[in-house]
Amino acid sequence: MTGFAKGSLVRVKSYFPPCPPAHCRTPFYIRGCVGKIERICGAFENPEELAFGRIGGDKKVLYRVRFSQSDIWGDYEGSKNDQIDIELYDFWLENLEEERKK
Amino acid sequence: MTTEPHDHEHMHEYDSQHHHPHRDDQDDTITYYRLMESAVRDLLIEKKIINADQIRDQIEKMDARIPANGAKIVARAWSDTDYKKRLINDPKSAVAELGHDIGPLNLIVLENTESVHNVVVCTLCSCYPRWILGLPPDWYKSREYRSRVVREPRKVLEEFGTLIDNQREVRVHDSTADMRYLVLPKRPDGTEELSEEDLVPLIGRDALIGVVEVKAP
CATH code (residue B129): 3.90.330.10
The topology (CATH level 3) of A9-101 is SH3 type barrels. (2.30.30)
B93 inside domain: yes
Q: Are A25 and B124 in contact (CB under 8 A)?
A: yes
Q: Residues 179 to 208 of B: which have CB under 8 A from any A CB?
A: 179
Based on the domain organization, do B60 and B70 belong to the same domain? no
Based on the domain organization, do B50 and B75 belong to the same domain? no
pLDDT tens digits, one per residue of A16-53: 665 556 678 999 999 999 999 999 999 999 988 888 88
What's the gap between Cα A69 and its chain centre? Answer: 15
- Using the Cβ of A27 and the Cβ atoms of chain B, whether some distance falls under 8 Å is answered with yes
Q: Select the residue of B155, B170, B174 nearest A79 (Cβ to Cβ).
A: B170
pLDDT at A13 over 60: yes
Based on the domain organization, do B60 and B71 belong to the same domain? no
Based on the domain organization, do B131 and B153 belong to the same domain? yes
User: What is the total count of domains within chain B?
Assistant: 2
Please choose, from the candidates B176, B121, B92, the residue with its C-alpha nearest in 3D space to the C-alpha of residue A62: B176
Distances (CA, A) of B34 to B40, B44, B62, B173: 10, 15, 20, 32
Based on the domain organization, do B52 and B76 belong to the same domain? no
pLDDT tens digits, one per residue of B43-100: 999 999 999 999 999 999 999 999 999 999 999 999 999 999 999 999 999 999 999 9
Q: What is the pLDDT of residue B6?
A: 47
B5 inside domain: no
Catalytic residue ranges of B: 122, 125-127
Query: A27 contacts in B (CB within 8 Å)?
Result: 123-124, 174, 176
Rounded to the nearest 5°, which phi and psi values hold at A75?
-110, 35
What's the gap between Cα A61 and its chain centre? Answer: 10
pLDDT tens digits, one per residue of A44-75: 999 888 888 889 999 999 999 999 999 999 99
Contact A86 B171 (CB under 8 A): no
Query: B123 contacts in A (CB within 8 Å)?
Result: 27, 29
Domain range for B79: 66-209
Domain boundary among B16, B43, B64: B64
Domain boundary among B37, B64, B91: B64
What distance in Å separates residue A42's CA from the closest CA in chain B?
A: 9
Distances (CA, A) of A86 to A37, A68, B77: 10, 11, 25
* pLDDT tens digits in sequence order for chain B, 217 residues long: 444 444 444 444 444 555 666 777 777 788 899 999 999 999 999 999 999 999 999 999 999 999 999 999 999 999 999 999 999 999 999 999 999 988 888 999 999 999 999 999 999 999 999 989 999 999 999 999 999 999 999 999 999 999 999 999 999 999 999 999 999 999 999 999 999 999 999 999 999 999 999 999 9
Based on the domain organization, do B34 and B48 belong to the same domain? yes
Based on the domain organization, do B152 and B59 belong to the same domain? no
Q: How many CB atoms lie within 10 A of CB A81?
A: 16
Query: Cα dihedral sign for B148, B154, B159, B160?
Result: positive
Based on the domain organization, do B122 and B193 belong to the same domain? yes
